[in-house]
Copies of this chain bind each other. A is one copy, B any other.
């Protein structure tokens, strides 16, 4: 069996940094299959990396090893960790990038990395993706056990960022959320899940979405179904409410940023 190692970084594609990590991995675990998830995470944007990773990981087979190098604290006293969660492995800085996997549902086991015999020498202060994390990912591909990687740490000790929370008004049937990700097409993913809408027994045809003072009436089933240029709401492939524009970019039209508020309301009877 060829183990899969995925890579998610904020390195961009203009430098040799990603290639170098792959060289290290294939030198130590030539049987590994490498898959790029995303290297265009905004520089040092831990939250975006966390979102992209949680959206991607469920589609990979069990025992996939996810290497995540978005590491603004490289060389400082932040810790590095290996995590087993949801039947997969993660190697990343302990800076919140694994937040979504530190729940009872997913978490299985974690260690703070402490296995200098695996590290590159000399060890730099500025590129632990290359010097520490890539070697550890390769070691996992070679079936090293967690106790050989470092010291066990409990879930509660690990760094999480606070996920933006929904405000749900069950009486009036209102949900207040935010935009959490803007994709390449300019579609806005919100943190309002299909389940949240269903739980309030809101009928998709009878809701109203409000974003940036614009109102959108009802949900469409997919992108291409509405008049070109028109704002629409739909449940996207990530399972969340998305705001889109047929044949255009909702992000451009609405000049939206992450964390902009989005509201779902029961349509008022006229």
Contacts and interface: CB of A to CB of B under 8 A. Distances in A.
Interface of A: 1-2, 4, 6, 11-20, 22-24, 26-27, 30, 33-40, 43-44, 52-53, 55-56, 59-61, 64, 72-76, 124-127, 130-131, 183-185, 221-225, 234-237, 242, 247
Of A2, A16, A17, A126, most buried by chain B (CB within 10 Å of CB) is A16
Given A40-B13, A75-B224, A125-B222, A35 B22 contact: yes
B59 A183 contact: no
Contact of A27 (B61, B126, B224): B61
22 contacts: A4-B23, A4-B26, A6-B23, A13-B184, A15-B52, A16-B37, A18-B36, A19-B36, A19-B38, A19-B56, A20-B56, A22-B35, A23-B64, A26-B33, A26-B35, A26-B60, A27-B59, A72-B247, A75-B222, A75-B224, A124-B236, A125-B234
Q: This chain: how many copies in the complex? A: 3
The interface centre, meaning the residue of A35, A43, A74, A235 with most chain B CB atoms within 10 A of its CB, is A35
